[in-house]
């Protein structure tokens, strides 16, 4: 029963399509739709070819690389440049914080290690007091490029003098 019903519905849809295509308005609609699909496809193909040229992955370039070296490797220059910029930004941030530690009278640059990754600064080592931890964190937070400061600084135990 379901098969017969599906067959009847299919025949009705097919007949409607034949009738629609048989009218001049139906042919114009089909042609217009076809033209739109063709234009979209051409636009996408042109965009793809432009990207292939931009990234040096045209079939000719691929064939040349395969013949010359075997593997084909491409990196997006922008991503490589951004990675280099990020790495140098972290190094600049670390250097700036270390410079501030050297200039500080209260903090010892030799006792505090600074590590920066993606703008997150980690301070480690030892200081004389909890106030020194606050000073070191403030010094780091006031540095350009710092998004977050993590302190694992330890307070040194005071050495008692014997009388």
Among 46, 68, 90, the domain boundary falls at 68
CB 77 within 8 A of CB 54: no
Count of CA atoms in the C-beta half-sphere (13 A) of 127: 24
**117 phi, psi to nearest 5 deg:** -135, 120
Is pLDDT at 145 greater than 60 in this prediction? yes
Q: What is the C-alpha end-to-end distance of the chain, expressed in Å?
A: 108
Q: What is the pLDDT of residue 14?
A: 76
* Structural domain range at position 8: 2-68
Give pTM, 2 decimals: 0.49
- H/E segment holding residue 148: strand 148-155
Q: What is the CATH number of the domain that holds 144?
A: 3.30.1340.30
Q: What is the pLDDT of residue 110?
A: 92
Is pLDDT at 102 greater than 90 in this prediction? yes
Q: What is the pLDDT of residue 55?
A: 65
162 belongs to a structural domain: no
Q: Over the Cα atoms of the chain, what is R_g?
A: 35
Strand partners, 114: 123
Q: What is the pLDDT of residue 96?
A: 94
Residues 91 and 134 in one domain: yes
- pLDDT single digits (tens) 11-48: 888 777 776 666 666 666 656 666 777 777 777 777 77
CA dihedral 103→109→113→117, nearest 10 degrees, is 10
Residues 12 and 40 in one domain: yes
Residues 52 and 111 in one domain: no
Residues 15 and 62 in one domain: yes
Distance of CA 20 to the CA centre of its chain: 50
Residues 28 and 83 in one domain: no
Q: How many structural domains comprise the chain?
A: 2
Higher pLDDT, 4 or 24: 4
- pLDDT band with cut points at 50, 70 and 90 for residue 10: confident
Q: What is the DSSP string of 9-61?
A: HHHHHHHHHHHHHHSHHHHHHHHHHHHHHHHHHHHHHHHHHHHHHHTT--HHH
Is pLDDT at 141 greater than 70 in this prediction? yes
């Amino acid at each position: 029963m379901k098969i017969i019903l599906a067959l009847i519905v299919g025949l009705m849809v097919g007949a409607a399509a034949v009738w629609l295509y048989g009218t001049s308005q139906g042919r114009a609609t089909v042609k217009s739709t076809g033209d739109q699909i063709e234009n979209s496809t051409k636009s996408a193909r042109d965009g793809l070819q432009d990207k292939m040229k931009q990234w040096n992955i045209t079939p000719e370039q691929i064939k040349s690389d395969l013949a010359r070296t075997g593997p084909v490797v491409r990196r997006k220059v922008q991503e490589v440049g951004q990675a280099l910029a990020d790495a140098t930004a972290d190094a600049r941030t670390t250097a700036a914080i270390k410079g501030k530690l050297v200039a500080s009278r209260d903090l010892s640059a030799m006792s505090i290690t600074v590590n920066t990754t993606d703008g997150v600064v980690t301070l480690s080592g030892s200081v004389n007091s909890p106030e020194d931890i606050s000073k070191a964190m403030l010094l780091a937070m006031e540095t350009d490029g710092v998004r977050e400061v993590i302190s694992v600084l330890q307070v040194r135990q005071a050495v008692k003098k014997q009388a």
